[in-house]
Amino acid sequence: MSKSLARKNGVILALDVTDEKTALTVSREVAEAVDAIKIGYPLVLGTGLSIAEKLSRIAPVIADFKVADIPNTDRLICEHVFDAGCDAVIVQGFTGPDSLTECVKTANEYQKKVFVVAEMSHPGGDHFFTDSVSKEIAAMAKKSGAFGIVAPATRPERVKELRGVIGSGLKIISPGVGAQGGSAADTIKAGADWVIVGRSIYGSKNPREEAEKVKREIEKYI
């Protein structure tokens, strides 16, 4: 039985390493300080999807595949993700409501979760994801019954605005803390439930210490 996401620390590890040994070592080291491990193409292409089941024994796994296809293909992808032991999948919303609905329907069948990307966190991330597009995607995520959205820690004001769109019913996970310059405390204060942190944790000499640092930075706000 794979683990299910619940907020204790407010930190999610973005595990963009590419080999199994490092992935398992880092995950075991930081397990007590994070609430989930986010995996994506770098790790899964490097090791195979079987890594998900191994990691799911350590912490809940979120599959960041930014799923963006027609409903049938989306469903097939989500089925693989959940069969592999992941607790949640990250999907794109720009493909439209029918694609998103199919992902949510599949997740519900497995009693798993869908997060919808409302806006990216890198400098060019708001080029197409303009304020109004992001808000529309967030509103669609709410309507679809998704578990939450992804909003940028690099723009806490956007996190706040998107929180206003979705209300308190959906969760917000926010990447962009650390290496991309975002502040964990500002992101949580703006309304995020979890910050997602990758390179500044797994790339440090002491990943456990770095994860604890982020955890301590936000503990009084969660």
User: Per the annotation, does 61 bind a ligand?
Assistant: no
Please report, for the chain, how many H helices and E strands are present, in that order.
10, 8
Q: Which residues are catalytic?
A: 64, 66, 69
Q: How far is the CB of 179 from ligand C5P (least distance, A)?
A: 4
Does 16 bind ligand C5P (CB under 6 A)? Our answer is: yes
Nearest residue to ligand C5P on Cβ basis = 198
String of b and e for 147-166 (b: at least 16 CB within 10 Å)?
bbbbbbbbbbebbbbbbebb
Among 59, 88, 120, 192, which residue interacts with ligand C5P (rule: CB under 6 A)? 120
Contacts with ligand C5P, 168-197, as mask; x by CB under 6 A: -------xx-xxx---------------xx
User: Per the annotation, does 180 bind a ligand?
Assistant: yes
User: Per the annotation, does 186 bind a ligand?
Assistant: no
Q: How far is the CB of 201 from ligand C5P (least distance, A)?
A: 8
Q: How far is the CB of 148 from ligand C5P (least distance, A)?
A: 13
Can you list the alpha helix ranges (DSSP code H) found in the chain?
Answer: 20-30, 41-47, 51-56, 71-83, 97-110, 131-144, 156-166, 184-189, 199-202, 207-218
Q: How far is the CB of 26 from ligand C5P (least distance, A)?
A: 12
User: Per the annotation, does 52 bind a ligand?
Assistant: no
C-beta atoms surrounding 3 within 10 Å: 17
CA dihedral 51, 150, 101, 163 (to 10 degrees): 150
Q: Which amino acid is at 133?
A: V
Among 22, 28, 31, 40, which residue interacts with ligand C5P (rule: CB under 6 A)? 40
Among 71, 93, 152, 207, which residue interacts with ligand C5P (rule: CB under 6 A)? 152
Residue number, 156 or 178, with CB nearest to ligand C5P: 178
Does 150 bind ligand C5P (CB under 6 A)? Our answer is: yes
Pick the closest to residue 59 from 81, 80, 87 (CA basis).
87
Query: What does the radius of gyration of the chain's CA atoms come to, in whole angstroms?
Result: 16
Q: How far is the CB of 37 from ligand C5P (least distance, A)?
A: 11
Q: Which residues have CB under 8 Å from 197's CB, separation 6+?
A: 11, 12, 13, 14, 175, 177, 178, 184, 210, 211, 214
> What is the DSSP-derived secondary structure letter of residue 172?
E
Binding residues vs ligand C5P (CB under 6 A): 14, 16, 40, 64, 117, 120-121, 150, 152, 175-176, 178-180, 196-199
Q: Which residues are annotated as a binding site for substrate?
A: 16, 38, 64-73, 121, 175-185, 198-199
